[in-house]
Amino acid sequence: METTYGRHLLLDIWIKEEIPTIGKLRDIIVMCAVATGATIMTETSFQFSPDGISIVLVLAESHLSVHAWTTERFMSIDCYTCGNQCDPMKILTILESYFTIEDKNQELIERGM
């Protein structure tokens, strides 16, 4: 693999199930980060009223953020990992194990290439 400054995954998904509670979604997103091979440094999350959840993980390798529109069953996911040691595409495998994805848009960008 060529050297890159990092890989940046932009992922939008629409799921069949309801978006889980903020605590359960946080657990799933942490599993996603671990699956990529990243190291979680810190995290924050917020439940919006009446609709929405945001979760941000600061990674040693960069970041993973999720913004969920609960009534729309839609999640927008952004994961940037510096270098080529982590694989942000593994996020999709974890999400597919928890949700039935009805539609998705994804783009993986090799940064600095």
Catalytic residue numbers? 62, 67, 82
The secondary structure of 13-55 as a DSSP string is EEESSPP--HHHHHHHHHHHHHHHT--EEEEEEEE-SSS-EEE
Rounded distance between C-alpha atoms, residue 61 and residue 39, angstroms: 7
